[in-house]
């Protein structure tokens, strides 16, 4: 009995400490906001008391809005809704709801504009905007759910996910405006005017959450609570758990390395009729809504001419093919034929926890058709292993959320890896193809629009090489590692072989209406690369090109860049969480097998 009493006292102490810590964190986050209504023996009247509450709320709102880029709008939108509250959690929820309301209002106006629009490209752009604004609202709604379930034992994961999702909301609205390229009507200007306030409030919400997350990280809350998790079973329920179709954890690596899987898939797709379906889209209709377990679709070798869409409610879908050059999904939609970039994609992935293994994705439109996307990925915690992505301009649209690519091949000409995801490409091969006459080649065009977004592209290991046709004509076409598509474009190349066809300057400025852009606000860096194209002595001299030391480079190792990698490790797919050890005057051997000591 006495032992039970002692345990109970310990639990009460832990709960008490956690509560005090939460209060302390909130105080730190809002920079010492205090309730200025003090006990008064003179019993001040209700008007004076209410004035003090208003003053306290105003101070709380101002302090919460302090880290935002649009402070005045933040304060003006929060104050009317805040009432007498000074609770940061409630104010954050109010900020989210204000943003949702603004996006919803603009969505209604967009629908009216869509009905009135006659110009085909503008009409398609407005239709795309409606879809993207719906996605943006969804990101805020699930962020609200996470804030309501705020739990100190999982605080780092909660804030990480909310930052990722709010970043997605910002990107979706910006992508809406991108869709008006080459339109001739006034729709583009009208849409930009419509979205200004909602984009500002979305940016503000992201800034507030980022500030809170940074403060809590400084407190090192998980260490104070005695480890990454208080309870053994306190895994994030949204993480991709070990697949139920795997018999034992030790055998999962071997299982995933085998081609094809020696397991029974949920459905099989085969063009020759030997499976359950001849179409991938028909197979996807069998996925249960909001599916919580891996739903394996085995796609036998063949060329599948169809446009595939894994929708948001198709979660935990696994595509397994017979090889990236054997199981191929192909299409040819393109910009020249009247389709905006977003909708040119052959395959669209929106359902979270998507995995593809040994599958090829292609847009065969060709370089003369300009933007032509092979795959657009918007699924959070998505993984691609031993896949192949082939196209020319804009091959792989890593649009939003957390994405991991391992042992893949990506080919293209201009900006053939682009978007605003948190994307890591580990041990992948990037094949630069021959473009049209008078065109240059660029491997990446990362699209980080807001300085608070946790997004970027990390290319770790693997190689950047030229296709034989480009190699033969390399004097006619310059090739670059990256160009900054958006203001805060961020790309890091580390431990990668860079062949000699890459131009010594390395980077190409983005050309806007007023000339070169984003050279000073981008973040580009190369760390421990090798090969004839890795010489940095003649790189472009921009303020946005950085030299990283070892400590800074480790901020971009996968485990830290993702701020949590259990969703990768739980699948058993090969994964290296850190950065290989480098020794002076000794060649580093890279085999990309995980070493526990490198994950810190």
Task: Give the domain ranges of the chain.
Answer: 53-218, 269-570
Residues 6+ apart with CB under 8 A from 553: 492, 494, 525, 527, 528, 579
What is the average pLDDT score of the chain? 84
Residues 6+ apart with CB under 8 A from 248: none
Q: Is the pLDDT of residue 327 over 70?
A: yes
Give mean pLDDT, residues 292-307: 96
Q: Is the domain covering 269-570 a CATH 2.40.440.10 domain?
A: no
What does DSSP assign to residue 433?
P
Tell me whether residue 394 is one of the annotated catalytic residues: no
Q: Is the pLDDT of residue 438 over 60?
A: yes
Report residue 215's pLDDT band, with 50, 70 and 90 as the boundaries: confident
3-state per-residue secondary structure call for 342-400: HHHCCEEECCCCCEEECCEEEECCCHHHCECCCEEECCCCEEEECCEEECCECCEEECC
Question: What does the pLDDT look like over 128-151, one tens digit per residue?
Answer: 999 999 999 999 999 999 888 777
Report residue 262's pLDDT band, with 50, 70 and 90 as the boundaries: low
C-alpha atoms less than 13 angstroms from C-alpha of 480 in its C-beta half-sphere: 21
CATH class of 53-218: mainly alpha
Q: Is the pLDDT of residue 391 over 90?
A: yes
Angle, helices 2-29 vs 187-219, to 10°: value is 130
C-alpha atoms less than 13 angstroms from C-alpha of 342 in its C-beta half-sphere: 24
Residues constituting the chain: 600
Report residue 24's pLDDT band, with 50, 70 and 90 as the boundaries: very low
Report residue 538's pLDDT band, with 50, 70 and 90 as the boundaries: very high
**Sheet with 295-299, edge to edge strand ranges:** 267-269, 295-299, 317-320, 355-357, 382-385, 402-406, 422-426, 456-460, 490-494, 523-527, 545-546
From residue 261, alpha-carbon distances to 258, 278, 295 in Å are: 6, 19, 14
By the 8 A CB rule, do 35 and 27 touch?
A: no
Report residue 270's pLDDT band, with 50, 70 and 90 as the boundaries: very high
Give mean pLDDT, residues 569-578: 92
Give mean pLDDT, residues 274-295: 94
What does DSSP assign to residue 164?
H
Question: What per-residue confidence (pLDDT) applies to 149?
Answer: 77
Least confident of 102-116, 362-376, 480-494: 102-116
Question: What per-residue confidence (pLDDT) applies to 220?
Answer: 61
Assigned token pair, 75: 């304060």
Give mean pLDDT, residues 474-499: 96
Assigned token pair, 42: 């003179």
Q: Is the pLDDT of residue 38 over 50?
A: no
Assigned token pair, 568: 């990768």
Question: What per-residue confidence (pLDDT) applies to 407?
Answer: 97
Question: What per-residue confidence (pLDDT) applies to 234?
Answer: 34
Question: What per-residue confidence (pLDDT) applies to 583?
Answer: 67
What does DSSP assign to residue 330?
E
What does DSSP assign to residue 591?
-
Question: What per-residue confidence (pLDDT) applies to 581?
Answer: 82
By the 8 A CB rule, do 401 and 431 touch?
A: no
Distance from C-alpha of 213 to C-alpha of 160, rounded to nearest angstrom: 8
Q: Which of 352, 394, 415, 499 is catalytic?
A: 415
Give mean pLDDT, residues 94-113: 91
Q: How many CB atoms lie within 10 A of CB 441?
A: 27
Q: Is the pLDDT of residue 18 over 60?
A: no
User: Going by DSSP bridges, is the β-strand pair 317-320/402-406 parallel, antiparallel, or unpaired?
Assistant: unpaired
Percent of the chain with pLDDT over 70: 80
Q: Is the pLDDT of residue 19 over 70?
A: no
Question: What per-residue confidence (pLDDT) applies to 40?
Answer: 45
Question: What per-residue confidence (pLDDT) applies to 17?
Answer: 41
Fold match, 53-218 / 269-570:
no
Question: What per-residue confidence (pLDDT) applies to 14?
Answer: 40
Give mean pLDDT, residues 265-281: 96
* Residue at token pair 């889209």: 281
Question: What per-residue confidence (pLDDT) applies to 134?
Answer: 95
Question: Quick check: pTM over 0.85?
Answer: yes
Q: Is the pLDDT of residue 252 over 60?
A: no
Exposure b/e, 565-585, CB count within 10 A at least 16 = b? bbbbbbbbbbbbbbbbeeeee
């Amino acid at each position: 009995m006495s032992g039970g009493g002692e345990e109970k006292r310990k639990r009460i102490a832990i709960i008490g400490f956690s509560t005090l810590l939460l209060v302390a964190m909130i105080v730190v986050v809002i920079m010492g906001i205090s309730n200025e209504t003090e006990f008064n023996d003179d019993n001040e009247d209700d008007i004076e008391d209410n004035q003090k509450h208003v003053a306290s709320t105003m101070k709380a709102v101002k302090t919460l809005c302090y880290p935002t880029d649009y402070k005045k709008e933040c304060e003006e939108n929060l104050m009317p809704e805040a009432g007498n509250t000074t609770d940061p959690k409630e104010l954050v929820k109010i900020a989210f709801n204000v943003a949702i309301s603004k996006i919803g209002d603009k969505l209604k106006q967009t629908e009216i504009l869509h009905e009135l629009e006659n110009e085909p490209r503008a009409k398609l752009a407005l239709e795309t905007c409606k879809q993207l604004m719906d996605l943006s609202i969804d990101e805020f709604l699930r962020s609200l759910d996470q804030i309501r379930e705020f739990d100190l034992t999982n605080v780092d994961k909660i804030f990480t996910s909310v930052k990722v999702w709010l970043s997605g909301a910002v990107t979706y609205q910006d992508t809406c405006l991108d869709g008006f390229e080459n339109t001739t009507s006034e729709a583009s200007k009208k849409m930009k005017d419509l979205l200004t306030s909602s984009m500002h409030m979305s940016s503000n919400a992201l800034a507030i959450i980022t500030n809170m997350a940074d403060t809590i990280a400084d407190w090192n809350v998980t260490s104070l609570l005695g480890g990454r998790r208080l309870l053994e079973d306190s895994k994030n329920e949204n993480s991709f758990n070990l697949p139920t179709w795997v018999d034992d954890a030790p055998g999962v690596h071997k299982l995933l390395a085998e081609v094809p899987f020696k397991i029974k898939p949920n459905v099989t797709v085969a063009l020759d009729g030997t499976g359950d379906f001849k179409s991938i889209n028909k197979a996807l209709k069998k996925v249960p809504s909001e599916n919580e377990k891996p739903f394996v679709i085995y796609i036998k070798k063949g060329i599948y001419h169809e446009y595939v869409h894994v929708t948001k409610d198709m979660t935990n879908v696994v595509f397994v093919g017979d090889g990236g050059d054997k199981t191929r999904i192909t299409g040819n939609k393109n910009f020249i034929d009247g389709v905006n970039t977003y909708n040119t994609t052959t395959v669209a992935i929106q359902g979270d926890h998507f995995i593809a293994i040994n599958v090829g994705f292609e847009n065969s439109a060709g370089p003369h058709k300009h933007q032509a996307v092979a795959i657009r990925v918007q699924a959070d915690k998505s993984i691609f292993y031993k896949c192949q992505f082939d196209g020319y301009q804009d091959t792989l649209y890593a649009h939003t959320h957390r994405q991991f690519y391992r042992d893949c091949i990506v080919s293209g000409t201009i900006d053939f890896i682009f978007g605003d995801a948190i994307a890591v490409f580990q041990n992948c091969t990037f094949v630069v193809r021959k473009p049209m006459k008078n065109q240059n080649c660029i491997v990446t065009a990362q699209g980080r629009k807001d300085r608070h977004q946790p997004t970027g592209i990390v290319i770790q290991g693997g190689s950047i090489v030229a296709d034989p046709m480009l190699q033969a004509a390399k004097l006619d076409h310059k090739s670059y590692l990256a160009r900054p598509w958006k203001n805060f474009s961020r790309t890091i190349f580390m431990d990668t072989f860079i062949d000699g066809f890459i131009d010594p300057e390395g980077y190409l400025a983005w050309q806007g209406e007023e000339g070169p852009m984003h050279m000073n606000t981008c973040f580009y860096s190369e760390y421990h690369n090798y090969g004839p194209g890795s010489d940095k002595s003649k790189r472009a001299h921009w303020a946005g090109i950085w030299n990283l030391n070892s400590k800074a480079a480790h901020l971009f190792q996968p485990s830290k860049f993702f701020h949590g990698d259990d969703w990768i490790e739980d699948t058993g797919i090969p994964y290296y969480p850190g950065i290989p050890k480098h020794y002076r005057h000794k060649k580093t051997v890279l085999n990309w097998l995980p070493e526990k000591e490198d994950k810190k």
